[in-house]
């Protein structure tokens, strides 16, 4: 899981740092954002002080109606030694009591010109991404017709060579050798390349090539949702491979189950074309067209018709 500091929010979003420069390196440990409305009334029993605090028009309107003593009390309790920051939305004027308390406690006090709902949405999406469960898998991730295909298999089976052929056919490389995967939401896996090997492809006998330099910016992308796994394995004549496609295999990555297909590798098989067609077939299945089920239904109809003719 990545470390997120208040300084990261200042760098990424259009936030004005009003005071609290000493606290910009405080860490944010949760994606939850607090709107301290109840706290403005003086109830701090369950105040989530470790969260990023956000004050909108409603909170500040109530705050401005308090007495001077109440304002000072509320702001001193809002600004703790672990509070990562306070964000004021809509570019509103900040009460001097809050500025003073934030300065004394070293809490970064920031202001955004945008509406409260927009600020919450953008900050939450960013923090959810940063704090998402994370793992890494040995494989290659390619974007084929909008489908994120994770190609796995033993070292030397031909994953990178297949990815190179797919790139030549107009598809886009996301990651080679190591795929960093984070789980967003309960059913979504997003894969990307480690920064060190981004846009690079290793071909045995040739070495490392830069796909973006050779094929252009349209041949790569930084991240992609993983939709299907293609596992390459050396052809085993004793093994029974699926010939119809009725039985759908699954692969579990963290908490998400992804459709998986096993592709046997032997001389003469064009793996790039097979994987490309598999991605197109997966798209058709998502649109409700399943060739294997249609064949099975046709076969059932023929058998039933023959039985009726015999009777």
- The residues, ordered by sequence, that sit 6+ positions from 265 with a Cβ below 8 Å of its Cβ are 153, 157, 158, 232, 233, 234, 235, 271
The response to whether 170 counts as a known ligand-binding position is no
Query: How is 203-245 classified by DSSP, letter by letter?
Result: ETTTEEEEHHHHH-GGGB-SEEEEEEEEEEEE--TTS---SS-
The response to whether 139 counts as a known ligand-binding position is no
Task: Indicate which residue of 138, 169, 298, 305 is catalytic.
Answer: 138
Query: How is 258-291 classified by DSSP, letter by letter?
Result: EEEEEEEE-TT--HHHHHHHHHHHHHHHHTT--H
The response to whether 121 counts as a known ligand-binding position is no
Task: Indicate which residue of 26, 177, 199, 224 is catalytic.
Answer: 177
Task: Indicate which residue of 49, 71, 74, 159 is catalytic.
Answer: 159
Angstrom distance (rounded) from CA 58 to CA 142: 47
The response to whether 157 counts as a known ligand-binding position is yes
Q: Determine whether 152 is exposed, middle or buried from the number of CB atoms within 10 Å of its CB (0-12, 13-18, 19+).
A: buried
**19 within 8 A of 75, measured Cβ to Cβ:** no
The response to whether 154 counts as a known ligand-binding position is yes
138 is catalytic: yes
The response to whether 23 counts as a known ligand-binding position is no
The response to whether 158 counts as a known ligand-binding position is yes
177 is catalytic: yes
Task: Indicate which residue of 45, 239, 243, 307 is catalytic.
Answer: 243
Angstrom distance (rounded) from CA 180 to CA 298: 43
**203 within 8 A of 125, measured Cβ to Cβ:** no
- What H or E segment, with its residue span, contains residue 137? strand 134-138
| Binding residue positions | 153-160, 202
Binding-site annotation: residue ranges for Mg(2+): 160, 202
Catalytically active residues are 138, 159, 177, 243
The binding site for ATP comprises: 153-160
């Amino acid at each position: 899981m990545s470390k997120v500091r208040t300084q990261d929010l200042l760098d990424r979003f259009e936030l004005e740092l009003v005071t609290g420069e000493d606290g910009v390196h405080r860490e944010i440990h949760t994606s939850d954002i607090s709107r301290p409305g109840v706290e403005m009334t003086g109830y701090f029993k369950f105040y989530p002080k470790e969260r990023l605090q956000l004050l909108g028009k409603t909170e500040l309107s109530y705050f401005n109606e308090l007495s001077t003593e109440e304002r000072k009390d509320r702001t001193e309790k809002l600004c703790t030694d672990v509070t990562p920051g306070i964000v004021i939305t809509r570019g509103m004027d900040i009460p001097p009591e809050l500025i003073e308390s934030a300065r004394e406690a070293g809490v970064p006090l920031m202001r955004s010109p945008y509406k409260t709902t927009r600020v919450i949405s953008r900050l939450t999406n960013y923090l959810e991404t940063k704090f998402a469960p994370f793992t890494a898998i040995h494989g290659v991730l390619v974007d084929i017709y909008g489908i994120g295909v994770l190609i796995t298999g033993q070292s030397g089976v031909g994953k990178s060579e297949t990815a190179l052929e797919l790139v030549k056919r107009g598809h886009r490389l996301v990651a080679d050798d190591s795929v960093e995967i984070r789980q967003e939401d309960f059913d979504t896996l997003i894969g990307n390349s480690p920064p060190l090997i981004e846009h690079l492809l290793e071909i045995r006998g040739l070495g490392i090539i830069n796909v973006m330099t050779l094929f252009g910016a349209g041949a790569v992308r930084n991240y992609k949702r993983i939709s299907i796994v293609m596992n390459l394995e050396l052809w085993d004549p004793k093994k029974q491979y699926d010939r119809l496609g009725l039985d759908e295999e699954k692969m579990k990555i963290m908490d998400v189950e992804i459709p998986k297909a096993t592709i046997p590798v032997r001389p003469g098989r064009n793996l790039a074309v097979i994987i490309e067609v598999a991605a197109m077939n997966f798209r058709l299945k998502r649109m409700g067209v399943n060739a294997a089920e249609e064949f099975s239904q046709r076969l059932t109809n023929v058998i039933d018709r023959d039985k009726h003719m015999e009777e």
